[in-house]
Structure 1
Amino acid sequence: MSPTDGRGREETEEERADRRWSDLLQELRVAQTGVQILFGFLLAVVFQPRFADLSDVDRDIYVVTVLLGAATAAALIGPVSYHRLLTGRRMKPETVVWASRMTVVGLVLLFCTMCSTLLLILRVALHNPLALWLVGGMALWFLVCWFVFPLWALARGRSGPRIDEPRDGESSDGPRD
Structure 2
Amino acid sequence: MSRKMVVSLFLVCFITPLISAYLFLQSNWSPNTTVNNGLLVTENIIITDWQTPERRLWSIAVMAPNGCLGMCIATIESVNKVHLALGKHNEHVGVVLLSETEAAFNKTEIVKTQLNRLSEDSIYLVDHMGLIVLEYPLSSDISEEIVFKGLLTDIKKLLKYARSS
- Please tell me the TM-score bracket, short chain as reference: under 0.3
If the length of structure 1 is used for normalisation, what is the TM-score? 0.22
Radius of gyration: which is bigger?
2
If the length of structure 2 is used for normalisation, what is the TM-score? 0.24
